[in-house]
Amino acid sequence: MLTFRKAISTDFEFMKFIENKSFNEIDRFKTYQIKYFLKNPNNSIITDIILADDKKIGWATYFTNKKAKWIRLYTFCIDPLYRGKGYGKEYLKKRLKEFSKKYKKIFLEVRKSNVSAIKLYESLGFKRKKILEKYYLNEDGFKMVHCFGENL
């Protein structure tokens, strides 16, 4: 069964391990950034650990603001050993259902070449809003937006 829970400080090693397996050096978060997500000093960061049958298989971080009506998916990764099995989609679908009760929209940025992620987001109702030129230094990105109440 696919579940998720709030990340805690002892998840750090797992998060770093999956991060290193999932992103190239340009995109990878540094140790201090992952620790910052976990510390969440302003209460504006949500970090989930994703579990399949109680085994940790991935994590995701979101940014928001106390009174904001939006939320931003900042990073999302599934262990390569568990990809392509529908876990990423199932997790995000559950998460979006929860967020839809609180927020009006969710947005994210994604590399233009990250076809699997773009397809996943589009299958959940995200739309390509604009091209972000050289957002990733060596490549353009898309800003994708999903307005709750549409296509979910």
Ligand X SMILES: CC(C)(COP(=O)(O)OP(=O)(O)OC[C@H]1O[C@@H](n2cnc3c(N)ncnc32)[C@H](O)[C@@H]1OP(=O)(O)O)[C@@H](O)C(=O)NCCC(=O)NCCS
Q: φ and ψ at 100, to 5 degrees?
A: -65, -20
Residues 3-32 that bind ligand X (CB under 6 A): 22
Decide if residue 120 touches ligand X (CB under 6 A).
Answer: yes
Q: Could you tell me which stretch among 36-44, 61-69, 83-91, 94-102 binds ligand X (CB under 6 A)?
A: 83-91
DSSP letter string over 95-134?
A: HHHHHTTT-SEEEEEEETT-HHHHHHHHHTT-EEEEEETT
Q: Is 117 in the site for ligand X (CB under 6 A)?
A: yes
Q: State yes or no: residue 49 binds ligand X (CB under 6 A).
A: no
Task: Identify any residues that bridge with 73 across adjacent strands, giving them in sequence order.
Answer: 62, 108
Distances (CA, A) of 67 to 2, 43, 90: 30, 11, 27
Q: Report d(CA 15, CA 150) in Å as an integer.
A: 32
Out of 54, 84, 133, 138, point to the residue binding ligand X (CB under 6 A). Answer: 84
Decide whether 67 or 134 has the Cβ nearer to ligand X. 134
CA-CA distance, 76 to 150, in Å (whole number)?
22
Give yes or no for residue 74 binding ligand X (CB under 6 A).
no
Residue from 26, 115, 131, 152 that binds ligand X (CB under 6 A)?
Answer: 115
| Out of 28, 35, 72, 89, the residue judged to bind ligand X by CB under 6 A | 89
Q: Per rule CB under 6 A, is residue 119 in the interface with ligand X?
A: yes
Tokens linked to 14: 């797992």
Q: Which is nearer to ligand X, 45 or 120 (CB)?
A: 120
Residues at the interface with ligand X (CB under 6 A): 22, 76-78, 83-89, 110, 114-117, 119-120, 123
